[in-house]
Amino acid sequence: MHLNLLTMLPNELREKLDKEYALIIQVKPACRYTLWPRLRTIIYHFTDDDAVRQAATQYLAHHQCIISNILLGISLCPTSTARGTITSQTASEQYLSSGIRTLYKYHQTLDFTWLTEHHKTLWQHCCHTFLLYEYKKEKWNNELIEFAESQCDPLIFSKQA
């Protein structure tokens, strides 16, 4: 299943994001993976419509922003306290899985501290939700599961028991 929110993205906002994206990647191409903190203010100053914000987050995720991938995933989760206006269990699982898998792959070479340190509670919530999805599967990537578990507050596991 693919959830396309991009039709809700106003052209004016898309143009602003494209302009900033082009400027950023000209100087530092690797920053495409961590665009969210730099472009978040443009989105939040443009609108307070949550659906448009989700669409903009998806737009950045499609521009290879790993943080946006994860944030869109958690915002789509129907049971998350960080959910947005639009929810989809399947799309949430896909975006969280893709985002956390990619962050794990690059966490030692790229700077994800905006999410993993400055917004640690949100990051832990993302990892916990990801784990709930993964635990339901028959096969796990043990290294990825161990990484996600190591990012969670250990108390969250005792609360589930």
Q: What are the pLDDT digits (tens) for 19-34? A: 999 999 999 999 999 9
116 in a domain, yes or no?
Answer: yes
Number of H helices, E strands in the chain: 9, 0
130 in a domain, yes or no?
Answer: yes
- For residues 94 and 141, the model is more confident at 94
The domain total for the chain is 1
Cβ pair 30, 110 in contact under 8 A: yes
- Cα separation, 121 vs 98, in Å, equals 20
What count of other Cβ atoms lies within 10 Å of the Cβ of residue 18?
Answer: 12
| pLDDT at residue 133 tops 50 | yes
Residue numbers of the domain that contains 69: 6-160
Cβ pair 102, 17 in contact under 8 A: no
1 in a domain, yes or no?
Answer: no
pLDDT in tens, 49-81: 999 999 999 999 999 999 999 999 999 999 999
Cβ pair 16, 49 in contact under 8 A: no
pLDDT in tens, 85-94: 999 999 999 9
125 in a domain, yes or no?
Answer: yes
DSSP conformational letter for 9: S
> Can you give the pLDDT at residue 161?
43
Radius of gyration of the chain (CA): 16
* CA-to-CA separations, 75 to 12, 53, 93, 108, 150, in angstroms, rounded: 23, 10, 11, 26, 22
25 in a domain, yes or no?
Answer: yes
Cβ pair 39, 16 in contact under 8 A: no
- Cα separation, 118 vs 112, in Å, equals 9
127 in a domain, yes or no?
Answer: yes
87 in a domain, yes or no?
Answer: yes
91 in a domain, yes or no?
Answer: yes
